[in-house]
A and B are shown apart, each in its own frame.
Chain A
Amino acid sequence: MIDLNLIWFILIAVLIIGYAVLDGFDLGVGIIHLFTKDEKEKRININAIGPVWDGNEVWLITAGGALFAAFPMVYATVFSSFYIALMLLLTALIMRAVSFEFRGKVESKSYKNIWDSAFGYGSLFISLLLCVAYGNILKGIPIDSNGIFRGSFIGLLNPYALLVGLTGVALFVMHGAVYMTAKTEGLQQERMIKWANGAWIVFISLYVITTLATFFYAKYLFDGITSNPLFWIFFLTLLISIALLPVQLKSGKYFRSFLISSLIVVSVIGLSAVSLFPYLTPSSIDLNYSLTAYNASSSQYTLKTMLIIALIGMPLVIAYTVYVYRIFKGKVEITEESY
């Protein structure tokens, strides 16, 4: 049955997917930036995402706001439970956000190195922490019958969550490298193709291992998903797009490669969302203590009001986002406006 709670579960998933597809590639570019030696290539990295990264990050902020509005219990419980981890995430987000503005303003090599590190390590930590947090959600976190967190920060760094974290990092690096193939030329482009292919292999390997590990750590995720048609749609999309990516890269169709890479991101998160439903925060103490789309939601009136806001707002957002991306399409040129 389609009801408001289900719709909001889907909309939160859409916002998270939107974030992963868009900020995913610029986080990936940030991680690759750590391994970029040449100053011109570094500037190309930064300017490839310069006009768009800020808008991409808004997906995360909006997902947070929407979670607060639609599932306040989840928002309050998860954010206070992950306290120290979130403070570290915020630090990384802050340092990364200012790195672009600060980097280009002073002509000094050591000064630039500091902000290159802030951009690179910031991107790495953001990717890792977000995906580790997601791993913990999938595995379930120790919340009791009153929704009170009974775990610790160290407990969040368990093997399964770390595995999900690394898989996510590999996915973002692949996605970022594919994006950069469309933004670069010559030697740098060749390097990006190598990065994309390498990350593709690492991602597939880690994804298979994670899926196997899920049988041991979070078996409930497999309960009944195969009867859901959405599962099969995402599953087939994942298989096809994974198979197509290296082929497209080889034939030099970089924009299409990026779309396919985006489809991989969409289907990976889509699959996990399908298996998670109706749970939003499963309890690892007893599944019955979990916060779900039904026991942790706002009132029906709020969900309905919010849906109207989303239906008015999101088409506009998508329209001008596409418009601006089209203006900045093509290879990066370093001009006087560049960072």
Chain B
Amino acid sequence: MDAVLLARLQFALTIGFHFIFPPLSIGLAWLLVIFEALGWKKKEEAYVKIGKFFGKILGLIFAMGVATGIVMEFQFGTNWAEYSKFVGDVFGAPLAAEGIFAFFIESTFLGLYLFGRNKVSKGIHWFSIFMVALGATISAFWILVANSWQQTPAGYVIRNGRAELTDFWAAVFNPSTLPRFFHTFDASLISGAFLVLGISAYLILKGKEVETAKKAFKVALIFGLIVSALEVFPFGHEHSRQVALTQPEKFAATQGLYTTQSGAPIAVFAIPVDNPPELKAPIEIPGLLSWLVFGDISAELKGIDQFPQDEIPPLFLTFVSYHNMVLLGVYFIFITSLATFLYWKKKLWDKKKVLKIFVWSVPLPVIACQLGWITAEVGRQPWIVYKLLRTSEAASITVSAGEILFSIILFGVIYLLLGSLFLYVLFKEVKHGPEPLQNKEVAA
């Protein structure tokens, strides 16, 4: 077996599994900031119960994120030693900054938030969940700095056979950092919103603590509608434009733009074929892609045919993952708009079907995140660092295919076990529901 291929599979497995949890914990943490603020300021008992209930779920998701995240930190060295030697001078700094500026904040204040409810004042307790959310967000920022530098390197020179940092801020705010950060951060907020929406909808349908669940649903719905809309415009749009300008091969692959053309269309639907590159049964809107990128319906866009054969990414996977991500993005706007409309018409709580859809939609933003990640990472192949280092040259020399296979099997088994247990415990917590309200007569 090919050691590089195995190392890539191992990375895809470990990072894919890890990447389920951070978006959920970032999104849920920010929603808890809102819930806890409402509980604190409005003194409504329901919001305190919501905080306690979803706080436990946050603890569970966070533990999974930490447990699977430790692997990330080590495996640049274990599996990609040549890569680590090449980029260490630049790439290590954001990872260290993440530890110092983000992880410590998140994990220290999470302990305070989960265990300190009766030990500190309400203000400090709210501050602790705010710090958890802020820390998680800063953490995402630094990780995306590191990843974005690989996509669009800046602020470095090649010296002594490696990339050496020459301008820290140029490396941090390289051309893709901000578009990528806002896009991913907002995707995390959507993931958190749909988690709360789905769980609350389930409780409403089961008739469990309905009053509390409706409050949680309402807040998450408004939040979810706003962040879903923002995800497409401006964040998704800006990120796409940036890719078009800085990584044209990847952009062409995502859009199925296989031949250079002026007035390039958007392919709403198509089945891509790899060899020769072709879109079968396409449904296209003429000129729209050119207009979205350059504001001119007849502008010329470069196709895959313009690039050297050995520098184009796998076309099928890039196209399919990108288009399904966009499809899900449109769905999030649609379903939250529909529910908001029904809520406004005071019909939402009777529409069992709509609530059921929300229960089943919980995993969809997570899937969208995974698809986005696949688009970003597969779309930049064959490069591990764009135009500087090929993935095939980056793996560890001293690690054998057998050793990597061992770790794939090991992590495969562990993740299967953890994943099932996570779902089991999560379902158990959800079925248990929030604690019953005690002061009903006082509130009424």
Contact = CB atoms under 8 A, between A and B. Distances in A.
Contacts of A55: 104, 107-108, 111
A195 to B, nearest CB: 25
A337 B118 CA distance: 9
Interface of A: 50-52, 54-55, 57-58, 61-62, 64-70, 72-73, 75-84, 86-87, 90-91, 93-95, 97-98, 100-102, 105-106, 148-149, 298-299, 301-302, 305-306, 309-310, 313-314, 317, 320-321, 324, 327-328, 335, 337-338
B168 interface: yes
Contacts of B436: none
A119 to B, nearest CB: 12
Contacts of B367: none
Contacts of B105: 320
B77 A314 contact: no
Interface stretch (B40-48, B94-102, B318-326): B94-102
Contacts of A317: 100, 104
Interface string B57-78: 0011001101110110110111
A76 B111 contact: no
Contacts of A98: 63-64, 67, 418, 421
| Interface SS, A side | helix
A233 to B, nearest CB: 27
Interface stretch (B181-189, B242-250, B302-310, B394-402): B394-402
Interface residues of B, number: 68
A298 B92 contact: yes
A301 B406 CA distance: 39
| Interface SS, B side | helix
B105 to A, nearest CB: 7
A112 to B, nearest CB: 13
Interface of B: 59-60, 63-64, 66-68, 70-71, 73-74, 76-79, 81-82, 84-85, 87-93, 95-101, 103-105, 107-112, 114-120, 159, 164-166, 168, 396-399, 403, 406-407, 410, 414, 418, 421, 425, 428-429
Contacts of A101: 59-60, 63-64, 425
Contacts of B104: 55, 58, 62, 313, 317, 320-321
Given A54-B111, A61-B99, A102-B421, 16 more contacts: A54-B107, A55-B108, A57-B66, A64-B99, A68-B96, A77-B81, A87-B406, A87-B410, A101-B425, A105-B429, A309-B96, A313-B97, A313-B104, A327-B116, A327-B119, A335-B118
Given A51-B111, A83-B399, A65 B63 contact: no
